[in-house]
């Protein structure tokens, strides 16, 4: 908890979004998968014709797929695999945290090659505006960052502990 809290506190060093964000984002090997699931969520749900659902589906699918993998592995009696998928979920939350926090200033360069302040559509600015929460973007981004760091630190430690206990018990 302390490590995740420290990371979340340092999160402010990356705001407004700077090149430091790219260094943090580059630490995660699941970044491309997260990106593809995010954009795929927009594409899949766009056929329903509801703008809110189409926009929200990007982030929702980015989080739902690793959670679905975790649930599948858990119920398949593979708790270590489930924990590693929870770590992936944490990485996905960290990835989203910068996007959430950027909703206020919109300086992050998006897939279009421009930022929200330059006219690109910013998912989280739209979503937070729907609920009147854009003023809280940085705080919500910090919360997502904290939760992601916590999962990203706890899950592999717990997985390692389980493997260690299993091996120790087998001897």
> CA–CA separation, 94 vs 41, rounded Å?
18
Query: Encoding tokens for residue 92?
Result: 């996905």
pLDDT digits (tens, 9 = 90+) for 82-116: 999 999 999 999 889 989 999 998 888 788 887 78
Mean pLDDT computed over 118-135: 94
CA 155 remoteness from chain centre: 15
What's the whole-model pTM score?
Answer: 0.80
User: What is the pLDDT, as a whole number, of residue 115?
Assistant: 79
User: What is the pLDDT, as a whole number, of residue 20?
Assistant: 53
Residues 6+ apart with CB under 8 A from 124: 59, 99, 100, 102, 103, 137
Mean pLDDT computed over 158-168: 91
- Residue spans of the domains in the chain: they are 2-170
Give the three-class secondary structure for 77.
coil
């Amino acid at each position: 908890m302390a490590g995740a809290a420290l990371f979340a506190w340092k999160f402010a060093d990356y705001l407004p979004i700077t090149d430091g964000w790219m260094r943090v984002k580059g630490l995660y090997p699941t970044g491309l998968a997260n990106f593809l699931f995010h954009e795929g969520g927009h594409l899949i749900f766009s056929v329903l014709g509801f703008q809110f659902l189409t926009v929200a589906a990007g982030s929702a699918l980015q989080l739902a797929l690793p959670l679905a993998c975790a649930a599948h592995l858990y119920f398949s009696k593979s708790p270590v695999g489930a924990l590693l998928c929870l770590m992936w979920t944490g990485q996905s939350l960290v990835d989203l945290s910068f996007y959430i926090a950027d909703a206020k200033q919109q300086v992050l360069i998006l897939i279009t090659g421009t930022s929200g302040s330059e006219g690109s559509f910013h998912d989280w600015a739209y979503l937070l505006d729907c609920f009147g929460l854009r003023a809280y973007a940085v705080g919500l981004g910090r919360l997502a960052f904290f939760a992601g760091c916590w999962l990203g630190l706890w899950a592999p430690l717990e997985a390692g502990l389980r493997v260690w206990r299993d091996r120790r018990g087998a001897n």
